[in-house]
Structure formats: structure tokens, C-alpha cells
Amino acid sequence: MRRLLLSFTCLSLPLCAPALAQGAGTPPVTEPSAAVAETVVTATRIPTPIERVPGAVTVIDRRTIEERGYQTLSEALVAVPGLALIQSGGLGQPASAFIRGTASRHALVLLDGVPVNDASEPNGAFNFGNDLLGLEVERIEVLRGPASSLYGSGAIGGVINIVTRRAPRNRAIEAFGELAGGSNRTLRGGAGVAGTVREFDYLLSLRSLSTRGTDATPSRFQRDTREKDGFRGTTATARLGWTPSDRFRLEGLANWRENHGGLDNVPEDDPNYSFEDRRYTGQIRAEGKPIDAWTTGFRAARTVDRRRYSNLADSLDLSTTDDLYRGERTVLDWGNQVRLPDAGILDASQLAFGVTHEREEVRQASGSAFFRTTVDADATSTAGHAGYQVRLFRRLDLSAGFRTDSAEDYGTHTTWRLGGVLAVPEVSARLRASYGTAFKAPSLYQRYGRIEGFFQGNPNLQPETSRGWEVGVEFDIPLAQQRDAVTLGATYFRNRVRDLINFNAGFDTLENVDRARIKGAEFTATLRPARWLTANIAYTITDARDALTGERLARRPEQQLALNASIRPVEGVTIAPELILYGRSREGAFASYADNGTAFTAARDNKAGAVFNLTATWQVTEPVALFLEGRNLTDSDFEPANGFAIAGRTALVGTRFRF
């Protein structure tokens, strides 16, 4: 895992996402593929040294995913500083991400730059337990802090961008694949082909995982039946591109994901509770360069989510559940970036601007016949955005960005962000600071949901808003002849969130009634004492509280420590241990359970816990590798969320190839 920095002047989805996807120091997006460099990032289309850009981003690249044996999105995110990943059980079980203490609905997720938060989810949150990290995933980028001036609604806590791989430029065909099996009858496999033929390039990939699963109900519960929650997931991706010249590119991307599995109720197992979840995402993007200094692009994208939850009557529950959710999102985006000429003390000047139009539609029917929740609504919004970045005296980088979103049902909302980085090369240090605003629009359920005779959504809800700032320092410590043998970083952040949406006193509608105040710190260290060893440390302290009552917010660990390393004892062999330590966290009233299954009527603390993973890889030949993945090797029964235990000790063995 590498920690990179992202420039906040890149505001257009068609232009920003591919630049991030290509990584540091790569050619423009008009190229069908790109190599990843170590020190710069091209969020503004011009390679920029890492020391010159503000705002923290953690990049989990393909090599890291394979070295550490990450097979799902939730597994890959647990070691990210400032992010708490809370999953209710093992593979395929629901999972939420709390970035810098904000709510799970305040994390915006993108797939190659396209928002994929399910519009039919009642709060607009993303389920991180559903996505497999297939061979088509090239990298994951986690941007922490308010980013609505960059990506719009939902980016109060941060943004997570899943980037798919691109075809090699110099090969007509490249085949890649993987096959693994192990504990709990788990079978994982995938294969794909990619290549470039003259001006055309392509990528086709298929990934599948099935497992008998584990029991998410803690063994301490007296009525635990040991029923396992199975999971089957499939993901397919297709990308086609046409690059007739170095000034124009046309590209299409399609992604399909379908999951089936079992779920548990608290405080006891329910063998008939199951789910199926489908997502279809497609986009077409065109980009051109009328002149060398100007890049313009247009994207049309559509995402459809379909979810169904079923629970037949049995001895544990006599009721029958058949919940249906359908959410759709259409995005049209036009973006531009212009590189301006240098002038005296000013250089590296860049301007970005564009327009985004978005439409959401939700059809939902869930719950029993007596207590049926329904939503049948749609909404549109249009946003204009712009940003500017410049360097002064070849030492101070400044950036500014703003965005105005105009919606048909909650009015107009403007967000902005300022940032700066001061290089102090005399001591190999970088000082950075930023301040910004963000918002989360009320979901269609919050505005138009209905339970006949009990609840009615509030169409007059206003967006949840925040103001946040951070200051940080990062510096390198030389050792022998290595300039960055040790890299240390520290960041302090504060955020105030207003107009949070919650139930009114009668629990029959929703209002903008809550506030939160959040502060914390992130400490990181990367140690490179020898060529065969790299170690990473990430320690996060988070204090997230209800601003009105002073109570700690639920499911935000007060402390979290991630330790991992890449050890190469001999050529071709890599051993990657990972230890995650979770501090205590709060659980709300009626969400904590005693051993007999009784719910506590007051808020309580979840206990601290630890998880140890280990992955070993042997590169037998250049195209073929063997690997062994061990998860929770200490067999911890830690409960990130009260009433849901993590999966027990598991192991998988497999092979990976590329020809």
C-alpha cells in the first residue's frame, strides 16, 4: 500500500477518474494503458511530484492486493488510516466504512469515476461487503476529508474510487487468471484477456467465488445454532477502446456483479434469511485535445441496482419477508482542463471546469404486509464546478475549487475547498493544510418513503452539511545512501457536521435535527531498512461525538492500529503479515446484546479486538505464482458490530498466472 497525495483542482469526472486510474507520471488518458510511477500523480493531467499536492490519498495497487491476499473490497480497506471498516460477519455480509468519524452514508464510492452508491439504500450508504476484488481491479484509491467540491453529494467523509485495469499497449493479447480453494469449501477463480490491436484495445474479465461461509452469530449467544452463511458471487467486466490519434479517444466500459448468500438476524441464526444483489454499470466516454494545453471530455454513465431479501416462516420466525429494492442512476458529465503559461514567480498553473447532470430513481417495497415500506420516486440535479492550481516561488503550491449543485427538490448548494503545500527541502519535509465544505443530499427514501399509517418521508429535508480542516507534516529520514529510508507523517483533522437527518420526536417522519463534532489524528510510518523489507504502520485516533449530547457516535473505534510488512527472504518469495488492532467503540441502545440475546436499553461499548492475517507468495516463474492466504490465524472471536463475529480461522491455497 502506498500513500499518495491528490490535487483537489481536478473536478471533472470524465477527466479526473481516468487520470487517477492511470496513476503517477502516466501519459494522458488518450493512451489505452499506463504504467504506475512512484512519486507523482496526474490528477491534473500534468505529472506532479508528490511533495507538491495537498490532501491525503491511500492507494492500494494491484501488487498490494495480491501480496496481502485481499479478495474483497472490505478486506482491502481495513488497514487504511482514518477509515474504520465494520463488517457484520464474513464474506458477503454487510459492511460499512466510517471515514474520519463521519457516518457510513458519508463515504462516496466510485467505479472508474462513476458513483455506485445504491440509490435505493435508505440512507444512500454503500455496502462494502458485496464487491469482490477480481483480476480486473487495478487499484483502489481512498481520499480522506470533505471532497464535495470535487465529487458532489455524499463526499463528507471522503471518496473511494475502484479503478479497473487497462489493456497493455504493446501486446495484441495477454491472458491472466487465478484459481484457489480452501477452508469452508471456498472456491475462487477468475480469468481474462486484454490487448491492443492497432488503434483498438480491449479487456474481458470474469471472476467467481463461492463458499459455505461461517457463522456470524457469536458463540457466546446461548441460542447460537452454528448455522453457516454461504456466499456466491460473480463479477464480469468488459472495456473497449478506440484511439485513432494521440488527440482523441473513445471508450466503453461495462461491469456486472451478482451475489447470493445467507444472512443472520440478531440475536440468533435464521437459516431461511437470504439475499440476492445485482448491479449493472456502464459508461461511454469520449475525450479530445483540440490544442496541446486544453483537454475536454464527455461521459454518459448508468448504474442499476437490484436487491432482494427473503425470509420464509420457520420455527424461529413465523413471519415471511420479501423485500425488493431497485435503484437507478444516470450521469452526464462534461469536463475540461487547461494548462496556463508560466509567468514570473508563478508556474504549473492549471484550470479545470465542467458541468454534471445526474438523475436518481428508486422503486422499493419491503417489510411485512402490516408494516410495508414503499418508495416510488425520482429526482435530478445539475452541477457546475471549477478549480485552479498554481505554484509560487517553486516552493508553495496553492489550490482552490468550488462546485454548485442545483437540485429540483432540495434547492441549490455550493461547496468549496482551499489547500496548500509548503516544501522545506532543507529538512526533507512537506507542510500541508486544507479547509473545505461538503454535503450529503437527503436520499429518496428519506424524502418520499412511506409506511402506511406509521411513517411519511419529509420532502422538505435539507442536505447534511460539513466544514472540515486538516494540517499535516510529512518528512523523510535518510539512512546510509537512501534518502527516504524512513518516511513519517502526522495529520490532525477536525470536522463539524450539521443538519444531520434523524427521526422526529414522534418517529413518524424525519428532520434535520442532529449535529456532530469530530476530531482526530492519523500517524503513518514507512520503514525501508533493507531491500528485502518494507514495513508500514498506520495509527488513527478518532473522537466523534453528538454535538448536542456529547455522547460518542456508534461504531467508530476510538483507536485503530494497522501493521503490515512485505518480507522477501529469498528471490521470488514474498511474505506479507498484517495485524489490525481495534480500540473500543460505542454501540447504541437496543443494538447491544447480552449472552442470552437480551438487548440492552442503554448505549454500551464494544470490546477491543485484533485480527492477524498472513499471505505468502512464490513467483515460480515470471508468469506463474503460487500463494497461500491465511485469515484470522489466531481465531479471534472479535465483534466489530455487537452481535456479529468476524469469520474464524481460514486458509486458501492457489495459483495466479499471466501470459
Q: How many residues does the chain have?
A: 659
Give the number of other CB atoms < 10 A from CB of residue 264. 24
pLDDT class for 90, splitting at 50, 70, 90? confident
CA neighbours closer than 13 Å in the CB half-sphere of residue 302: 3
Query: Largest Cα–Cα distance in the chain?
Result: 79
Task: Collect all residues with Cβ–Cβ distance below 8 Å to 135 and sequence separation of at least 6.
Answer: 165, 176, 177, 178, 190, 191, 192, 205, 207
Span 172-210, pLDDT tens digits: 999 999 999 999 999 999 999 999 999 999 999 999 999
Whether 359 contacts 380, CB under 8 Å: yes
Span 120-179, pLDDT tens digits: 999 999 999 989 998 889 989 898 999 999 899 999 999 999 989 999 999 999 999 999
The residues that bridge with 298 in the sheet, in sequence order, are 286, 334
Q: Which three cell numbers stand for residue 172?
A: 495484441
DSSP element (H, E) containing 197: strand 186-197
Percent of the chain at pLDDT > 70 equals 92
pLDDT at 577 over 70: yes
Q: Which of the listed ranges 5-14, 213-222, 558-567 does the model predict with the highest average pLDDT?
A: 558-567
Give the model's pLDDT for residue 28.
31
pLDDT class for 523, splitting at 50, 70, 90? very high
Percent of the chain at pLDDT > 90 equals 72
Span 605-626, pLDDT tens digits: 999 999 999 999 999 999 999 9
Give the model's pLDDT for residue 8.
33
SS3 state at 185: helix
Taking the C-alpha atoms of residue 131 and residue 209, their distance in angstroms, rounded to an integer, is 11
Task: Give the architecture-level CATH label for domain 2-658.
Answer: Beta Barrel (2.40)
| Least confident segment among 83-97, 231-245, 523-537 | 83-97
Task: Collect all residues with Cβ–Cβ distance below 8 Å to 451 and sequence separation of at least 6.
Answer: 367, 371, 372, 373, 374
pLDDT at 460 over 90: yes
pLDDT at 362 over 60: yes
Give the model's pLDDT for residue 449.
95
**Residue carrying the nine cell digits 491492443:** 196
Taking the C-alpha atoms of residue 113 and residue 301, their distance in angstroms, rounded to an integer, is 10
Strands (E), 215-345: 229-245, 248-262, 273-291, 294-311, 321-339
Give the number of other CB atoms < 10 A from CB of residue 502. 10
Taking the C-alpha atoms of residue 154 and residue 403, their distance in angstroms, rounded to an integer, is 13
pLDDT at 35 over 50: no
pLDDT at 584 over 50: yes
Measured CA distances, 659 to 191, 267, 568, 626 (Å): 11, 49, 24, 15
How deeply is 181 buried, as exposed, middle or buried, from its count of CB atoms within 10 A (0-12, 13-18, 19+)? Answer: middle
Residue 460 φ/ψ, nearest 5 degrees:
-95, 10
Q: Which three cell numbers stand for residue 585?
A: 467503540
Residue 599: DSSP 8-state? B
pLDDT class for 273, splitting at 50, 70, 90? confident
In this prediction the pTM is 0.91
How deeply is 73 buried, as exposed, middle or buried, from its count of CB atoms within 10 A (0-12, 13-18, 19+)? Answer: buried
pLDDT at 38 over 50: no
Average pLDDT over residues 458-482: 92
pLDDT at 227 over 90: no
Q: Which three cell numbers stand for residue 528?
A: 525501508
How deeply is 507 buried, as exposed, middle or buried, from its count of CB atoms within 10 A (0-12, 13-18, 19+)? Answer: exposed
DSSP element (H, E) containing 17: helix 13-22
Task: Collect all residues with Cβ–Cβ distance below 8 Å to 58 and sequence separation of at least 6.
Answer: 1, 2, 3, 4, 80, 81, 141, 142, 144
Give the model's pLDDT for residue 368.
81
Give the model's pLDDT for residue 365.
94
Residue 73: DSSP 8-state? H
CA neighbours closer than 13 Å in the CB half-sphere of residue 455: 22
Taking the C-alpha atoms of residue 521 and residue 531, their distance in angstroms, rounded to an integer, is 30
Give the model's pLDDT for residue 26.
30
Average pLDDT over residues 112-124: 93
Give the model's pLDDT for residue 16.
35
Give the model's pLDDT for residue 44.
35
Taking the C-alpha atoms of residue 153 and residue 413, their distance in angstroms, rounded to an integer, is 10
pLDDT at 246 over 60: yes
CA neighbours closer than 13 Å in the CB half-sphere of residue 463: 25
Strands (E), 504-619: 510-530, 533-546, 559-567, 573-582, 585-587, 604-606, 609-618
SS3 state at 13: helix
User: What is the dihedral sign for C-alpha 288, 290, 294, 299?
Assistant: negative
Nearest to 114 by CA among 47, 61, 72, 159: 159
Nearest to 131 by CA among 180, 90, 92, 103: 92
pLDDT class for 33, splitting at 50, 70, 90? very low
Q: Residue 267: is the preceding peptide bond cis (ω within 30°)?
A: yes
Residue 279 φ/ψ, nearest 5 degrees:
-140, 130
Taking the C-alpha atoms of residue 459 and residue 443, their distance in angstroms, rounded to an integer, is 10
DSSP element (H, E) containing 446: helix 444-448
How deeply is 550 buried, as exposed, middle or buried, from its count of CB atoms within 10 A (0-12, 13-18, 19+)? Answer: exposed
How deeply is 453 buried, as exposed, middle or buried, from its count of CB atoms within 10 A (0-12, 13-18, 19+)? Answer: exposed
Taking the C-alpha atoms of residue 178 and residue 624, their distance in angstroms, rounded to an integer, is 10
Amino acid sitting at position 489: G
Span 1-28, pLDDT tens digits: 444 433 333 333 333 333 333 332 333 3
Residue 150: DSSP 8-state? H
Span 39-83, pLDDT tens digits: 333 333 344 565 676 888 888 999 999 999 999 999 999 999 999
Whether 210 contacts 234, CB under 8 Å: no
End-to-end CA distance of the chain: 25
pLDDT at 391 over 50: yes
Q: What is the CA radius of gyration of the chain?
A: 24
